[in-house]
Amino acid sequence: MRILSGMRPTGKLHLGNYFGALAHWVKLQQQGEECFFSIVDWHALSSDYADPTELQSNIREVLLDWLAVGLDPQRSTIFLQSQVKEHAEMYLLLSMITPLGWLTRVPTYKEQQQELQGKDLSTHGFLGYPVLQAADILLYQSDAVPVGEDQLPHLELTREIIRRLNGLYKLKLPEPKPLLTKTPKINGTDGRKMSKSYNNAIYLADSKAQIDKAVMEMVTDPARKRRSDPGEPDNCNLFPLHRVMTDSNTRDEIVSGCRSAQLGCVDCKKLLTTSIHNFLEPIQKKRQTTAKDAGYLDRVLADGAEKARRVAASTIDQIRKAMNLK
Ligand code: SF4
């Protein structure tokens, strides 16, 4: 299977990014799928065009995290979107055939405009975001795209655009299937979705002190007001992290200790900090080693762009011919 997935360069990645996407990507790579992973910097500009000052440092942080968690440039094609110019040409060609109504009715379009208040998102680039996404996917003729449920409408739009292209020009380009995974929902310290913009995240590169502080601030089962009240792990914001990081024996003890009120939340949090430290230790070691080699990240992206371009150029040629371009 050929897989394409991408991530916007938003800076250092957090546990929500890891369990929501990266862990799945590493697994696909281990299964021997043909993976293309792209840092989609043009997408970042669709909402952050007014202030790109941190773009390059954000790209670097994302790449360091990707390599630290086990994405391997020898096995997967890891590249920067803007270094493969075919993405821009494909975006332009798909823009010609995409009806405007398909874009304005994307459910996230209006939601995001409201959510990201303070930014003027009444731009062509922001409206055309799903077309650029379709271009990213189509260039590699991807069979499947790992997505969360919330991204399904975007992928459906990509499939519709490809279907229209195939219909208009008698092509047989594949419509990518969604690779849905049941990813554990990891909340931030305040109980909302873990997100950089909510300032509630625990980052893969956080120091032990930062992790301890964040965990101690986490909201727990709201019904457990006093230490002597029994709690319910299923209603606790902290417990999903124990589920993915703490060994099963300790986890069973936490469940019974919480429900019988023998375990206090502060002790439970200390157990969680230990689990997070153990989990992040090898990732952080790899991150530090990689960061020391100044030219390595540039080499990874240059090699990745070259490999990506070979596939992308062949798809673009096919479409150019079909549209009677030379
Ligand atoms: S003991 Fe642990 S699982 Fe139970 S409410 Fe406190 S923090 Fe949550």
pLDDT tens, position by position, for the chain (326 residues)?
A: 999 999 999 999 999 999 999 999 999 999 999 999 999 999 999 888 989 999 999 999 999 999 999 999 999 999 999 999 999 999 999 999 999 999 988 877 777 777 777 788 889 999 999 999 999 999 999 999 998 888 888 899 999 999 999 999 999 999 999 998 777 788 999 999 899 888 999 999 999 999 999 999 999 999 999 999 999 999 999 999 999 999 999 999 999 999 999 999 999 999 999 999 999 999 999 999 999 998 999 999 999 999 999 999 999 999 999 999 98
Looking at the DSSP bridge assignments, the partners of residue 77 are 36
**Under DSSP, is residue 51 helix (H, G, I), strand (E, B) or coil?**
coil
The whole domain housing 170 covers 2-184+295-322
- Do the Cβ atoms of 266 and 36 come closer than 8 Å? no
Looking at the DSSP bridge assignments, the partners of residue 144 are 3, 177
Decide if 193 is inside a domain: no
**Under DSSP, is residue 218 helix (H, G, I), strand (E, B) or coil?**
coil
Q: Number of structural domains, the chain?
A: 2
| DSSP symbol at 295 | T
Decide if 118 is inside a domain: yes
Q: Which residues does ligand 1 sit against, CB inside 6 Å?
A: 220-221, 224, 231, 233, 236, 238-239, 254, 258, 263, 265, 268
Supply the CATH number for residue 60's domain. Answer: 3.40.50.620
Torsion sign across C-alpha atoms 300, 302, 303, 307: positive
Name the packing angle between helices 152-169 and 107-115 (round to 10°).
130
- Do the Cβ atoms of 287 and 70 come closer than 8 Å? no
155 and 69 fall within a common domain? yes
Q: Whose CA is nearest to atom 7 of ligand 1?
A: 265
Decide if 194 is inside a domain: no
15 and 124 fall within a common domain? yes
121 and 144 fall within a common domain? yes
Decide if 199 is inside a domain: no
Decide if 201 is inside a domain: no
Supply the CATH number for residue 216's domain. Answer: 1.10.240.10
Q: Which of 227, 265, 275 to mutate to test the pocket of ligand 1 (most atoms within 8 A of CB)?
A: 265
52 and 144 fall within a common domain? yes
302 and 234 fall within a common domain? no
What's the half-sphere exposure (Cβ side, CA atoms, 13 Å) at 164?
Answer: 16
DSSP string for residues in 62-110: HHHHHHHHT--TTTSEEEEGGG-THHHHHHHHHHHHS-HHHHHT-HHHH
d(CA 97, CA 125): 16
Distance between Cα 260 and ligand 1 center (Å): 11
